[in-house]
A = this chain, B = another copy of it.
């Protein structure tokens, strides 16, 4: 049997503690599977005295991730600290500078510094694995980076934030408001005390930016993502969607268009009978459309200590199974130096169907006016319905439009024209429909 693989783990939160436990409890079988033992040599975490329910006897303690990455006698540095910069970044840079392999679950770090870190890793002949950074336990990085080699991806989309999917699922199943479901998610630990990063779509955007690069071979460009969260989705939208045969999901979508790459995160209507529409609660899903393979969909746990630890362990095992320095999987699917400049498609050129919900005054001619504004912008309608369960003279009316595929620009112009007409009672709701 070959020499053991020596690892150092920075960060002993839920994921780190779970990883230590698994590596210790399953050391024998892992050694058999990998052809050599995986040995935890060093750890670092903020609080040395905290009881994490794991045995750290014989493992060297470092006070900072940077020290661990710089000084420990290890082959692999496992970064579970988190954050786009600071300690995590410094430690990963220090580890790569020494030619160590790095395994990380840090999406923010990769979304910001991924190309640079990949370049350093490849120059040093080191591996940089990050399966856990996107969609937790779903092996989507491996699918894109390895299984789909040679394919040209045309679109990738997915449910990549469990908090949002939990809230949307609960809103639909129990008919509750966004606020009530957010509170319940917080109570259950599915949402942070400050939930903005999740519910406004930023978390999904970080993950999408990484997938986009693996799919299309461009430099990571997280700042170029069109972003809409789920905070203004109402029970009315969810109910109307169901009646029209749709379900609302927060999707991250990246696709190739004639004018460049479209990267967008927004609430999306997907057909009720599609596979992705059945993905409930905190579960994640990622779909990849490519020209040779066709469509591949993967569904699984997107977060949680164990699921994330499983992805980290898979990354470590991949290193253990190869002889030191022997593998050359490009970090981002293609050698970092061959990644292309990011060419952003304009969101107003986006093509697709739209759901538009308008609350209007109960006055003659409104229906005709709306239909006319749509026609003025060459928007072809699949349906336009007026909904009011019980007609009360003078009460606001709801009008719901579903368009055939059209341009975002036309929708924006039509909605603007409708707003100018002064019969709207509240802000119009516009939700994009995604072909699945």
Name A's B-contacting residues (CB within 8 A).
18, 22-23, 26, 29-30, 32-35, 131, 137-139, 142-143, 146-151, 273-275, 277-279, 290, 292-301, 304, 306-307, 309-311, 313-314, 317-318, 321-323, 326-330, 333-335, 338
Q: How far is the CB of A27 from chain B (nearest CB, A)?
A: 10
Pick from B142, B295, B322: contact of A147, CB under 8 Å: B142
Interfacial chain B residues near A301, Cβ < 8 Å: 293-296
Interfacial chain B residues near A290, Cβ < 8 Å: 310
Interfacial chain B residues near A330, Cβ < 8 Å: 33, 35, 321
Interfacial chain B residues near A296, Cβ < 8 Å: 137-139, 298-301
Specify the chain B residue showing the minimal Cβ separation from A306. Answer: B292
Q: How far is the CB of A351 from chain B (nearest CB, A)?
A: 26
> What are 24 sample pairs from A and B whose C-beta atoms fall under 8 A apart?
A22-B150, A30-B149, A32-B338, A139-B139, A142-B146, A146-B317, A146-B321, A147-B310, A149-B313, A149-B314, A149-B317, A150-B314, A150-B317, A273-B278, A274-B278, A292-B307, A292-B309, A293-B310, A294-B306, A295-B300, A296-B300, A297-B299, A321-B328, A323-B328
- Cross-chain contact B35 with A310 (CB below 8 angstroms): no
Give me 7 other A-B pairs in contact (C-beta within 8 A), A32-B334, A294-B307 excluded: A26-B150, A137-B296, A139-B142, A139-B296, A298-B299, A321-B328, A321-B330
How far, in whole Å, are A300 and B285 apart by their CA atoms in the complex?
Answer: 13
Interfacial chain B residues near A137, Cβ < 8 Å: 293-294, 296
- Cross-chain contact B279 with A292 (CB below 8 angstroms): no
- Cross-chain contact B30 with A150 (CB below 8 angstroms): yes
Specify the chain B residue showing the minimal Cβ separation from A278. Answer: B275
Specify the chain B residue showing the minimal Cβ separation from A18. Answer: B292
Pick from B131, B150, B307, B335: contact of A313, CB under 8 Å: B150
- Cross-chain contact B328 with A322 (CB below 8 angstroms): yes
- Cross-chain contact A297 with B298 (CB below 8 angstroms): yes
Interfacial chain B residues near A147, Cβ < 8 Å: 131, 139, 142, 310-311, 314
Specify the chain B residue showing the minimal Cβ separation from A309. Answer: B292
- Cross-chain contact B307 with A293 (CB below 8 angstroms): yes
- Cross-chain contact B317 with A326 (CB below 8 angstroms): no
- Cross-chain contact B323 with A149 (CB below 8 angstroms): no
How far, in whole Å, are A32 and B310 apart by their CA atoms in the complex?
Answer: 30
Pick from B33, B314, B326, B338: contact of A327, CB under 8 Å: B326
Interfacial chain B residues near A150, Cβ < 8 Å: 22-23, 26, 29-30, 33, 310, 313-314, 317
- Cross-chain contact A300 with B310 (CB below 8 angstroms): no
